[in-house]
A = this chain, B = another copy of it.
């Protein structure tokens, strides 16, 4: 019997983090899911994160409360209308209104704290530089800089333990490729949720940036999205 290595996987309950979880499990890591409550407008996303974690048999899932509303900025946490029906090509160029300041930096910092306590040297994050090129903290050079900093930040860095690695298996993949990869690895996308602005019954709007990218991805992958949308209901 070999001792399995532990990994922390940032898990939002969307397609990208579900596929990232599947990749970490395929690499035979003991999965520790880290999810955040950060003043999202809806709780549907957190329920999806729980379902995905359960589906992949995680050792433990932690929910961390962080109040990014405190600082303002970003439609996901402030009282700004979520933009609808934008052009997908344009989304990739702009920094979106749904951008949350320093979000991945805060998420990865918490992951680093948990990794140190667990004795883990592997953190997985489903960032993607193709569809989300507008988010500065999804770029490969940002991830490399975080990894470098993390390796100077912790007790492990002093004791000479394994070098901490930030795994970004999706960083060069299109949404369609992520969906195909997830499908190959047994992800049930019916468990996931992506919408920034669901209705009162938790149905996805089908018009926000996140829904449009998701639908385009399924379309290009030649697959049907198993979740329900308001416009179809």
Contact = CB atoms under 8 A, between A and B. Distances in A.
Given A110-B106, A141-B152, A152-B145, A64 B70 contact: yes
Contacts of A109: 102, 105-106, 109
Contacts of A145: 145, 148-149, 152-153
Interface string A112-139: 1110110000000000000000001101
Main secondary structure of the interface of A (DSSP, over half): helix
A157 interface: yes
A229 interface: no
A227 interface: no
A100 B112 CA distance: 11
A48 interface: no
Copies in the complex: 2
Interface in A47-100: 62, 64-68, 70-73, 95, 99-100
A136 B153 contact: yes
A48 B194 CA distance: 43
Contacts of A116: 73, 101-102
Contacts of A62: 70-71
Interface in A22-62: 62
B136 A158 contact: yes
Nearest to A148: B145
A113 B101 contact: yes
A155 interface: yes
A17 interface: no
